[in-house]
Amino acid sequence: MQVRFSHISLAFTPDKDTLHDLNFTINDGELVCLLGPSGGGKSTTLNLISGLLVPTKGNILFDNQDVTKMGPSERKIGMVFQNYSLYPHLTVENNIAFPLKIAHWKKADRLARAAKLAKLVHVEDQLQKNVNELSGGQQQRVAIARALAKDPNILLLDEPLSNLDARLRMEMREEIRRIQQETKITTVFVTHDQSEAMHISDSVMVLHNAQIQQYSKPNELYDHPANQFVASFIGDNPLNTFDRSLLDDTELKEELGKVYDKATTVGVRAENIVLTKGEDTYQHGVRCKLLRSHRYGLISTRLYSFKGIELDATGLTEIHDTNEEVEIYFQKRGFFLFDASGNNLFLE
């Protein structure tokens, strides 16, 4: 089912909008991530879709039908909460069948349905167990099965993986992707973990400061971030940023052309700093000194000092001495200029 927000605003207190004038469409059968830092309004957006919250302004449409005034149960959605919210007094089977019991299904029918869903999420051998005998990942699976019990139009998941350890998180995000693709259900997935969002989704919506910062395909976020916030938020390494004026007396300035004058801030990804120039780099580099380097397993990082500021670089293999002056080059795909309000100037 397609979901559309049209000029949605929501204010918990009259003086400040928690969400301001949101417009977006989630296409039928897509898995969309709501991504952003804590307090960015992700859960609020999700609760607007579910009907647990009512917008202050604007309309919500499901397949062009206005559902703004409808309650959660009328909207036919399934929801998975961060701590799963499984009923501790019920078995796995009865947890999955709970929504059907509420809907007055016959016992045999609802247990049959529960068994089918348990198979889908791979907990068919746990049906008679109590939910607190299950591991975190299994509980997660049960919660998803329960959310799918009534064959909802939309599946909503609010930070479903954040209670799991790192390895299980990776396993479960693939599982969620698999289940979503098998059921082809329109899914909205909330997370504050950019790598999770990048791996799992068809599209990612970055929410921050009451607004959508960017809504696009995952790789697009990385390759063409709309603004400084998105550029810093996406990617495994931190974005190096510094004041544009530091480049004023370099030849790199000339190479960047007209757009340079509008910029106030420069951003460079750590993985796009290299020591030799090539076709994918700017032809002029900057001189800096190596301060120190570390290695954490696969990833080695170096800290260079450039005009009093520090630049992180990762993935460099050429060896040179600490304190030695070297020329570093910036690869174009990881180099950004931002104007005063943070917009990416290369996108214009």
Partner 1 sequence: MINQKISWKQTLHALLYLAPMMILLSIFFLYPIISTFILSVFKKYNFYTNAGQGIGFDNFAYLWHDPMFHQAVKNTFIFVLGVVPASIIISLGIALLLNRFSKVRGFFQTLYFLPYVTSTVAIAMVWTWIYHSDYGVLNFILKLFHLPPVGWLTDPHYTMLTLIIFSIWKNLGLNIILFLVALNSVPKQYYLSASIDGATPWQQFTNITVPLISPTTFLLTINAMIASFKVFDQIYVFYHNTAGPNNSGMTIVYYLYQKFYVENNYTVASAAGVVLFVIILLATILQNYVSKHYVHY
Interface residue list for partner 1 (CB under 8 A): 50, 52, 71-73, 77-79, 81, 83, 85, 87-89, 98-99, 101-103, 150
Cα–Cα distance for residue pair 328/247, rounded to 1 Å: 13
Encoded one letter per residue, x for contact with Mg ion by CB under 5 A and - for no contact, window 29-68 reads --------------x-------------------------
Alpha helices in 184-259 (DSSP H): 194-200, 218-223, 228-233, 251-256
Q: Candidates 17, 20, 40, 160: give the one binding ligand ADP (CB under 6 A).
A: 40
Q: Candidates 2, 9, 18, 300: give the one binding ligand ADP (CB under 6 A).
A: 18
| Of 30 and 159, CB closest to Mg ion | 159
Cα–Cα distance for residue pair 188/78, rounded to 1 Å: 10
If we measure between CA atoms, which residue out of 285, 281, 270 comes closest to residue 328?
Answer: 285
Closest approach, Cβ 158 to Mg ion, in A, equals 6
Q: How is residue 277 written in tokens?
A: 């120039």
293: left (phi over 0), alpha (psi -120 to 50) or beta: beta
Closest approach, Cβ 205 to Mg ion, in A, equals 14
H/E stretch holding 303 reads strand 299-306
Cα–Cα distance for residue pair 287/305, rounded to 1 Å: 9
Residue type, 63: D
Closest approach, Cβ 164 to Mg ion, in A, equals 16
For ligand ADP, which stretch binds (CB under 6 A), given 32-40, 93-101, 272-280, 331-339?
Answer: 32-40
Q: Does 41 bind ligand ADP (CB under 6 A)?
A: yes
Binder of residue 81, out of partner 1, Mg ion, ligand ADP, none (CB less than 5 to 8 A by kind): partner 1
Cα–Cα distance for residue pair 333/309, rounded to 1 Å: 22
Cα–Cα distance for residue pair 292/321, rounded to 1 Å: 9
Rule CB under 6 A: which residues touch ligand ADP? Answer: 12, 18, 36, 38-44
Rule CB under 5 A: which residues touch Mg ion? Answer: 43
